[in-house]
């Protein structure tokens, strides 16, 4: 009877939904899920800084954004680190993705945040269309009018979307950094991003091919679309679809 709920806290467990200051939010509002109970970890081994980030007075701050209804049932919304803050509003990519998947021409979609000079970030929807079907940006924008204006993606990008197990975090990666490989990669354990795009903030849509393609590239000093379809020279090439984090 509670479609979408993950349930209530079990025996000897407690759960709270809290804001950025660790204070309880109003019932039904979205915040971070914190839990306390006999199974909560004691610490990260020999890492007090990491421990302090997620544990406080026995409460484990999970990093999951959630809401709780009047009966205490909990509904997960998104991961905290994936939240897009646009013009002071919190946008939850999973909510926008779930809405867009209702459109019958869409095979899959991933929503990410892009830097924006005025709003801080904007939501961008990377959309994979079903095979043999034509779809335009105007169609997507018209469908999104059912959403509140602030939740509508401000950028539509038609591209292949990596399967869910191969997606990593949704934030952009910086050219010139050395990043961990996705799980299931080859013998090499780092990906060295280099080349002419070093001054830019780049989001890599790492599909298999001779050179992973940058879906979009943003000038760090002037946040705007710089080059679509730009390529980066790579230290080596990934074997699997992947999505890089910074």
Which tens digits make up the pLDDT trace of 8-40?
A: 999 999 999 999 999 999 999 999 999 999 999
Q: Of all residues in the chain, what percent carry a pLDDT higher than 70?
A: 65
**Six-digit token string for 196:** 């002419």
Q: Does residue 80 surpass a pLDDT of 50?
A: yes
Q: Are 172 and 194 in contact (CB under 8 A)?
A: no
Q: Are 54 and 61 in contact (CB under 8 A)?
A: yes
Predicted confidence at residue 162, as pLDDT, reads 74
For residue 95, give the DSSP letter.
H
Report the largest interatomic distance among the alpha carbons of the chain, rounded to a whole angstrom.
57
Which of 3-12, 32-41, 138-147, 223-232 has the weakest average pLDDT? 223-232
Look up the pTM and report it.
0.61
Distance CA 34, CA 56 (A): 10
E strands present in the chain: 14-18, 31-36, 55-56, 59-68, 74-79, 84-86, 89-91, 106-116, 120-129, 155-158, 173-174, 178-180, 190-192, 200-206, 213-219, 242-243
Average pLDDT rounded to a whole number, residues 51-78: 95
Predicted confidence at residue 171, as pLDDT, reads 53
Find tokens 């939740």 and name the residue: 151
Average pLDDT rounded to a whole number, residues 208-235: 37
Reference 56, options 12, 26, 21, 81; nearest CA is 21
Q: Element (H or E) spanning 138, and its range? A: helix 137-143
Average pLDDT rounded to a whole number, residues 58-66: 96
Predicted confidence at residue 7, as pLDDT, reads 94
């Amino acid at each position: 009877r509670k479609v979408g709920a993950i349930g209530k806290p079990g025996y000897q467990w407690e759960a709270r939904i809290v804001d950025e200051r660790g204070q309880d939010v109003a019932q039904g509002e979205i915040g971070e899920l914190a839990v306390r109970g006999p199974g909560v970890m004691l610490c990260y081994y020999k890492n007090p800084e990491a421990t302090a980030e997620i544990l406080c007075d026995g409460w484990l701050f999970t990093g999951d954004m959630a809401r709780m209804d009047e009966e205490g049932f909990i509904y997960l919304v998104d991961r905290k680190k994936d939240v897009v803050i646009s013009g002071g509003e919190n946008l939850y990519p999973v909510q926008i993705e779930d809405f867009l998947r209702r459109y019958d021409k869409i095979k899959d979609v991933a929503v990410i945040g892009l830097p924006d000079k005025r709003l801080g970030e904007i939501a961008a929807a990377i959309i994979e269309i079903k095979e043999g079907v034509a779809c335009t940006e105007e169609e997507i924008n018209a469908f999104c009018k059912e959403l509140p204006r602030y939740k509508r993606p401000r950028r539509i990008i038609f591209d292949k979307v990596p399967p869910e197990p191969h997606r990593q975090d949704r934030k952009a990666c910086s050219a010139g950094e050395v990043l961990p490989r996705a799980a299931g990669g080859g013998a090499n354990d780092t990906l060295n991003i280099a080349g002419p795009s070093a001054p830019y903030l780049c989001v890599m849509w790492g599909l298999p091919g001779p050179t992973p393609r940058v879906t979009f590239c943003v000038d760090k000093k002037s946040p705007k679309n710089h080059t679509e379809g730009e390529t980066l020279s790579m230290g080596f090439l990934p074997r699997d679809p992947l999505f890089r984090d910074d």
